[in-house]
Amino acid sequence: MSDATGSRPSIAERAETRERMDRSGRDRYSSLVRALQAGREVPIGRTRETRLEWHPVAWQITKLALVLAAAYIVAVNAYGWWRERQVDTWAGPVGMTVQSGQLLDGCPAVAGIEHETLPTWVRYDGEVYVLTNALWAIKSRSRPNETGLIETGYTLAGMRILLIDTPAADAALRRLVIARPPAYAGGYYVAHPECA
C-alpha cells in the first residue's frame, strides 16, 4: 500500500481496490448514488409540489394597495353621504335667500336624481326647482352677461342662476338654468309646487 508519508496510492493499489469493489458487486457509481441519497426516498413518477412563496416587498405592496383601495372606497362613500345632506346658500342680491342641495326631505321628485357637479334642487324666490335630464343651450360659453338669458346675480362655486324668461306680474316663474362656465349648456330646472 502507500507509505506512511501520505503519498498517493500506486497504480497497483488502485487496481486492487477496484477489483475488490467489483467482487462485492458494488461499483463506484452505485456507492456514490447511495451516499448522495443518504437514506432519502427518491420520488419516481411523482412531481414535486412547489409552494407559492411571496417576495416580502411584493406582499407589502399588495397590502398597501388593498388598504389604499379600501380607504378610497370609504372616502368616496363618506363624501357622497356628506354631499347628499349638505344645503348650500348662494351669494347674491340682498332680499332673498337662495339655497340648493342634493336631497330634500318631503320632495319625492328629487329622490332618484343624481348629478356630480350640479345641485338636484334649488329653492329660488320661494319655490323649489328640480333638475331635469335636459340641458339648456347657452351662448358664449356661459360668460356673464353674454348668455342671452337673464342674470339673477346669484352665484355659488362658479355656478350662476339664469332665468329663461321674465314671468308676468301675476305668474310665477316656472323654469331656470344653472350655468357653470365654460359650458355651452346648463342644467335645466323646472318648478315643483309639491316640494315646499
What tens digit of pLDDT does each residue of 18-32 get?
A: 777 777 666 667 666
pLDDT at 34: 65
Q: Report pTM.
A: 0.58
Low-confidence ranges of the chain (pLDDT < 70): 1-6, 24-28, 30-50, 95, 141-143, 145-146, 166-173, 196
From the centroid of its chain, how far is CA 122? 30
Residue 125, sorted as left (phi over 0), alpha (psi -120 to 50) or beta, turns out to be left
pLDDT at 109: 77
CB atoms near residue 121 (< 10 Å): 23
Single-letter code of the amino acid located at 126: G
